[in-house]
A and B are shown apart, each in its own frame.
Chain A
Amino acid sequence: MLSKLMKYELKATGRIFLPLFLAALAFALIARLTHAFSAGQQWGTPAVISMVMYISVMVGMFVMTLIMTIQRFYKNLLSEEGYLMFTLPVKPWQHIVSKMLISMFWVVLSIVIAMISIVMIGYRAGDWGRFIGELGPSIQEVSDFLGASIYLYSFEAILGIIFSLASAILILYASIAIGSLFNQHRVLASFAAFIGLNTLTQIITMVITTILGYNYDHNFVINSANFHSMETQIHFFIVFTLIISALITTTYFFITERILSKRLNLE
């Protein structure tokens, strides 16, 4: 059932994102071409216009990931469409997870498209060879320095990215769900809930950090000289941060899930 929900979520959002991605790539190409044709004067009017257009589409693309995350959750689950979604033989957590995963997918894909478009604009003959030529040794250098723990660091980094993305999306869901408990001024209530949740998260994180003594501002100094001797502490610190962000993410998820299961208040 989760995969079916994701299929429909992908269809509902893809019809917005795919044209946007195409537009982003198209404007990147136009920017590239106009720049190439106005070779004599560095920044002729067409080049500036096409560059502005490209940047607008880029910004629009990322703003859209935010808007779609909010809009799909609110409109599909908590407005009239909720009457259909919540009478499907599906659990509320599956609705949340399917929407979250698809949202994450579009954020990642937007970043990939942004990178491709930058390469499209800036690429000059021979760049690729130089890039590969320099990348190899750099990776070698980093892995020499870090040794076997490079895998651990990469793993931690990926987990960190997943948790931050998930919690950024879930705090939006939780805020909207809290807002839906009110019969009037739902948008205002959602905003208030967002600010409230954010503040609370900050305070709780600070309290936990202080209690456990990770006041890293003054007793935690890392430089390349003491890096290896500090490695255990570094991992401790990273794992600790990961645990906290996992806890925060779970809390947002739990708030959303409980409200959708027990306090559903459709318009």
Chain B
Amino acid sequence: MTPILECKGLTKKYGSKVALSNFNLTLELGQIVGLLGPNGSGKSTLIKLANELLTPTSGEILIAGKRPGIETKKLISYLPEKTYLNDWMKVHQIIELFQDFYEDFKPEKAYDMLKNLNINPNDRLKTMSKGTKEKVQLILVMSREADLYLLDEPIGGVDPAARDYILKTILSNYNEKATVLISTHLISEIENILDYVVFINQGQVALTSTVDEIRSEKGKSVDALFREVFKC
């Protein structure tokens, strides 16, 4: 089967600064993957390359066997680390926008989650707190039935109670036919939902492993292993 995400010798330079260098990675469908690494290790760069927000300096990145473009954007549901919501729409209007542009968007799912998090669909995006905006974005992203979810720091800015709800949301919306890639450095928080981890350091893959292997063979938690690998 074609892997959902494949990087072959992927390299991205910003001027003379190397963000990713000869990065190789293959991810199959049907798992929750943690993309773990310290700040500035290239996590966001990788995710942006997959979304065609950046173009590779050399090498290749393929989504379901295709180079990034319109067809791959239909498959990917992306949560950036920035809040991209504009300041003039109401929540229900941005839901309509998603419905308009993404065929796999399920509005009933979105309204359901809004209700659970006590967010009024008639509220203006402008008047919301940063944390609420992040919740709205996550709701939008998880209400799609995509093949690949790319979540860049999904729990960074929200309170612990919302974190639990978000992780539950990710778990319950994810199906066997999809892959979820979560980039974060808050490892202990998400460790329990991960199937597979990719450690990334200075633009290269430092380690890939299933979480079961780490636990049974090394007898460690992912968090402990991370601290060991990236010891300062």
Contacts and interface: CB of A to CB of B under 8 A. Distances in A.
B224 interface: no
Q: Report the contact-size class of chain B (Cβ under 8 Å from the partner).
A: 20 to 34
B1 interface: no
Contact of B80 (A8, A83, A88): A83
B76 interface: yes
B84 A89 contact: no
Given A4-B100, A4-B101, A86 B53 contact: yes
Nearest to A265: B54
A80 B97 contact: no
B88 interface: yes
Contacts of B84: 80-84
A89 B53 contact: no
Contacts of B83: 80
A86 B52 contact: yes
B78 interface: yes
A90 to B, nearest CB: 7
Interface residues of A, number: 21
A15 B101 CA distance: 22
Contacts of A264: 53-55
B102 A83 contact: no
Contacts of A86: 51-53
A88 B52 contact: no
Interface centre among A82, A84, A86, A266 (most CB of B within 10 A): A84
A12 interface: yes
Main DSSP-derived SS at the B contact region: loop
B86 interface: yes
B82 A80 contact: yes
Nearest to A267: B82
B55 A88 contact: no
Contact of B78 (A81, A87, A90): A87
B86 A76 contact: yes
Nearest to A264: B53
Interface in B172-192: none
A262 interface: yes
Interface string A81-109: 11110111111000000000000000000
A81 B70 contact: no
B73 A89 contact: yes
Contact of A88 (B71, B73, B86): B73
Contacts of B53: 82-83, 86-87, 264, 266
Contacts of B86: 12, 76, 81
A91 B71 CA distance: 11
10 contacts: A4-B101, A80-B82, A81-B84, A81-B86, A82-B53, A83-B53, A84-B84, A86-B53, A89-B70, A90-B101
Given A12-B86, A84-B85, A89-B71, 13 more contacts: A8-B97, A80-B83, A81-B84, A82-B53, A83-B82, A86-B51, A86-B53, A89-B101, A90-B70, A264-B53, A264-B54, A264-B55, A266-B53
